[in-house]
Amino acid sequence: MKFIPNILFVLALLAGIGYFANNVRKIIRNIRLGRDVDRSDNKKERFKNMAMIALGQSKMVRRPVAGILHIVVYLGFIIINIEVLEIIIDGIFGTHRIFSFLGGVYDFLIGSFEILAFLVLVGVILFWIRRNVIRIKRFWNPEMKGWAKNDGNLILYFEMVLMTLFLVMNATDIQLQELGADHYIKAGSYPISQFIAPLFSSMSETSLIVLERSAWWLHIIGILVFLNYLYFSKHLHILLAFPNTYYGDLKPKGELNNLEAVTNEVMLMMDPNADPFAAPADDGQEEGEPEKFGASDVTDLNWAQLLNAYTCTECGRCTSECPANQTGKKLSPRKIMMDTRDRLKEVGDNIDKNGSFVDDGKQLLNDYITQEELWACTSCNACVEACPVSISPLSIIIDMRRYLVMEQSAAPTDLNNMMSNIENNGAPWPFNQMDRLNWKDE
């Protein structure tokens, strides 16, 4: 009977970590469904970007209020959970505050954790007010309905509960230390929970132990639930912001990549000895099968773009900066990323169900993202510049436009006219080359 709590703790720990590891495996598999792209260059610059953007939050503080609050909540939540190491050891071996032998260092750590827990609680409440009372516009765009809206609030409630449980756990521990309860040694400094402790002063020792143990158990189980909730939430960026900023595109923002499929076709056309039907298979295609131009589904995108989709924080900074969206166009860069992630998850679920992907008659283009959205984009890169974690909605838009133009000839009429003029007249205007300078004679 003595070891039952320890056994239950180990089982809960293994279940939580095991489920999380399985979901991480699915995420990695789904990302690898994308085409290959080389992001192994300039390691020094990539590490610098990761340190400055993901860890240093350099792009978050461009909007000071949200940025500072985010730093407080993010760093506070991460640092507080260092104590999880002690909780795990105590849970496995049945000890209590195993690191208390550190003396003054332990007092400093627990005191720091308490102050951070209070700041996180305040920050989360302010975030909730901004989202639900002040109702900042970017949190209420059309795509922020249903799960997207509920997810943003749910994670705030999660953090409120976890921080409250942490402080209640410490407050009841203080009372038990004062009572000299068995197993509750005097250790730690409690600058915040010492003000909460008097609320429990009238409780019996048995009741205090039940409350302290309940808060302890709910706190660690809550952390394990939170860890596994990330897979279903936009808050997956807590983990993926680091690889996403490391593997971000280092090219100047105005520079578009050449489409490799087009380059290969041009090279074949320029080689009089080339046999286009003997071209080597690429990206899993059958030998001699023409390579697809652009992207119509998530598997046509590269893995870095799919990593972008999983990393999206749904903060809406991209959409709030988008000039097309500001003028009432249907385009929302945030929705582009959300749709890409939703379709990728759908493809992943299809693979889980069938062992391999079975055509479901759907694709990213038209079923998720409309042509109207794609052609509303001005290619200005405002969304890319605004993103706090180096996501590029524009790269997905460009690849899908390429598919429409080169595979379906489905460009808007004005654009088709322009391309026809370039082909026939060597310029975007509908004038014969011989007549191009007639204006000077008028």
Residue with tokens 């068995």: 182
Instruction: Residue 176: name the closest of 164, 190, 163 by CA.
Output: 190
270 and 241 belong to one structural domain: no
Q: Is residue 5 part of a domain?
A: no
240 and 274 belong to one structural domain: no
User: Helix H segments across 133-191?
Assistant: 147-179
Q: Which two tokens stand for residue 31?
A: 């990302």
Q: How far is residue 297's CA from residue 362's CA, in Å, rounded to a whole number?
A: 9
Q: In this structure, are residues 336 and 396 in contact, taking their beta carbons and an 8 Å threshold?
A: yes
Give the pLDDT score at 78: 83
Per-residue pLDDT of the chain (442 residues), as tens digits, is 678 889 999 999 999 999 999 999 999 999 999 999 999 999 999 999 999 999 999 999 999 999 999 999 988 878 887 888 899 999 999 888 888 888 899 999 999 999 999 999 999 999 999 999 999 999 999 999 999 989 999 999 999 999 999 999 999 999 999 998 888 988 889 999 999 999 999 999 999 999 999 999 999 999 999 999 999 999 999 999 999 999 999 998 888 888 777 787 788 778 777 666 655 545 555 555 567 889 999 999 999 999 999 999 999 999 999 999 999 999 999 999 999 999 999 999 999 999 999 999 999 999 999 999 999 999 999 999 999 999 999 999 999 999 999 888 888 888 888 888 888 888 888 877 777 777 677 6
Nearest-10 crossing angle of helices 205-229, 83-93: 120
Q: What is the length of the chain?
A: 442
Residue 316, CA distances (Å) to 68, 128, 261, 332 in order? 17, 16, 33, 9
Give the pLDDT score at 200: 93
282 and 416 belong to one structural domain: yes
Q: In this structure, are residues 400 and 355 in contact, taking their beta carbons and an 8 Å threshold?
A: no
Q: Which of 221, 246, 271 delimits the end of a domain?
A: 246
217 and 276 belong to one structural domain: no
157 and 267 belong to one structural domain: no
272 and 210 belong to one structural domain: no
Q: Which two tokens stand for residue 223?
A: 């952390």
| List of residues 6+ apart from 13 with CB closer than 8 A | 88, 91, 92, 224
Residue 51 DSSP label: I
228 and 315 belong to one structural domain: no
Q: Is residue 48 part of a domain?
A: no
Q: Is residue 312 part of a domain?
A: yes
CATH code for position 403 = 1.10.1060
Give the pLDDT score at 322: 96
Q: How far is CA 216 from the centre of its chain?
A: 29
Q: Is residue 441 part of a domain?
A: no
Q: Which of 212, 246, 280 delimits the end of a domain?
A: 246
Q: Which of 211, 246, 281 delimits the end of a domain?
A: 246
Neighbours of 359 (CB within 10 A): 7
Q: Is residue 25 part of a domain?
A: no
271 and 231 belong to one structural domain: no
Residue with tokens 């997956």: 236
Torsion of CA 105, 109, 115, 117, to 10 degrees: -170
CB burial of residue 183 (10 Å; 0-12, 13-18, 19+) = exposed
335 and 382 belong to one structural domain: yes
Give the pLDDT score at 280: 53
Q: What is the DSSP string of 74-134?
A: HHHHHHHTTHHHHHHHHHHH--SSGGGGGTHHHHHHHHHHHHHHHHHHHHHHHHHHHHHTS
409 and 264 belong to one structural domain: yes
Q: Is residue 434 part of a domain?
A: no
210 and 268 belong to one structural domain: no
Q: Is residue 379 part of a domain?
A: yes
Enclosing domain of residue 390: 260-425
Give the pLDDT score at 442: 61
pTM score, two decimals?
Answer: 0.88
205 and 328 belong to one structural domain: no
Residue 299 DSSP label: G
Strand stretches in 211-317, DSSP E = none
Instruction: Residue 316: name the closest of 54, 66, 50, 134 by CA.
Output: 66
Q: Is residue 439 part of a domain?
A: no
Q: How far is residue 313's CA from residue 52's CA, in Å, rounded to a whole number?
A: 17
CB burial of residue 177 (10 Å; 0-12, 13-18, 19+) = middle
Nearest-10 crossing angle of helices 393-406, 333-354: 80
> How many domains, the chain?
2
